[in-house]
Amino acid sequence: MNAPDRAALRLTQFSHGGGCGCKIAPAVLSQMLARTVPGVLPPQLLVGVETADDAAVYQINGSQAIVATTDFFMPIVDDPFDFGAIAATNALSDVYAMGATPLFALALVGMPIDRLPVETMRSVLEGGEAICAKAGIPVAGGHTIDSVEPIYGLAAIGLVDPRHLKRNAGARPADVLILGKPLGVGIYSAALKKGRLNAKRYATMLASTTQLNTPGIALGRSEAVHALTDVTGFGLLGHLLEVCRASRIGARIAFDRLPLHPAVVELAREGSVTGASARNWASYGDDVALAGGLGDAERVLLTDPQTSGGLLAACAPDAVDSVLAVFRNEGFERACVIGECVAGPARARVD
């Protein structure tokens, strides 16, 4: 039995990739940006492109900075309302990952208008609007185009006190790594396309991908949290390596401590994997050491593109309980310690 589908059309049939699996592979992106000439760099620009962080940050006064980000992609699910909700949650995550509070959003919409009913397109927008309402912000406008594939996302604007700003840089040796959500969304999405995802697993995926990463606000105020990011299209290892490079440290994680969505290992072994997982590994696998007992399924999970994935925090060892309490208070029951930061080159080891 496949996941329930209210729409007569399958949105995923229009897309060559879905969710954050649509992201350009890290290695290709690096090549694209390698010769980019820096433009105007005012001192008020606190965060730009230098460490591949989650959002741009521009300081406007001593206690306020604007956080700006954008995220959009093709359908990861067939239900239009669910697609809009997932895409909006994913876009707002980058604001929370900076320790900021969302202010408003603009919708980014591309639709094959001659192939989709107006009701279907409207339902996508309603899904995004519902998540923004849950976050307490308006969708204050946007832009639409006629496109070959359905595309939806947001440009999200937030506000943060510069003293509470969190970056993917700043992690220290001996910091503890905490992950906020289970892994396996990309595997679930691949299983959905193949008709192998049952209704229970679909509900699990939807609950995870529409859970706003609100703990980021409180984590931003904690001096014991030294670095913060979210895990999305480059997979756990890809975003962990971004933290390592930005912080000039290494990391060690324990595979058996990773929170996983139910049945993802079995689904991966059955072939429900995304092309993005292989592209991710090709991009950064040289900087990863896998323990001998870890096979292809485990590697796929470590590189699996997470759409609207969890926050990844690096915190002082004596702050673990308080950081986990922040997650628990916001309903993230499966947040857990997955490893630690270590002195050394920007590499990751998985035991």
C-alpha 348/C-alpha 299 separation (Å) is: 13
Strand bridging mode 101-111 / 151-160: antiparallel
Q: Which of 20, 244, 315, 341 is catalytic?
A: 20
Amino acid at 263: A
Instruction: Name the CA dihedral angle for 285, 289, 294, 297, rounded to a multiple of 10 degrees.
Output: -20
Q: Where are the alpha helices (DSSP H) in the chain?
A: 26-33, 80-97, 118-135, 185-193, 199-209, 215-220, 235-247, 264-269, 275-284, 296-303, 320-329
Two tokens at 43?
Answer: 């001192």
Coil, strand or helix at 74: coil
Sheet bearing 139-146, strands edge to edge:
45-47, 56-61, 64-73, 151-160, 101-111, 139-146
C-alpha 348/C-alpha 244 separation (Å) is: 8
C-alpha distances (whole Å) from 196 to each of 18, 153, 189 are 16, 27, 10
Catalytic annotation present for 22: no
C-alpha 149/C-alpha 40 separation (Å) is: 34
C-alpha 20/C-alpha 84 separation (Å) is: 14
Task: State the number of CA atoms in the 13 A half-sphere of 1 facing the CB.
Answer: 8
C-alpha 345/C-alpha 338 separation (Å) is: 19
Catalytic residues: 20
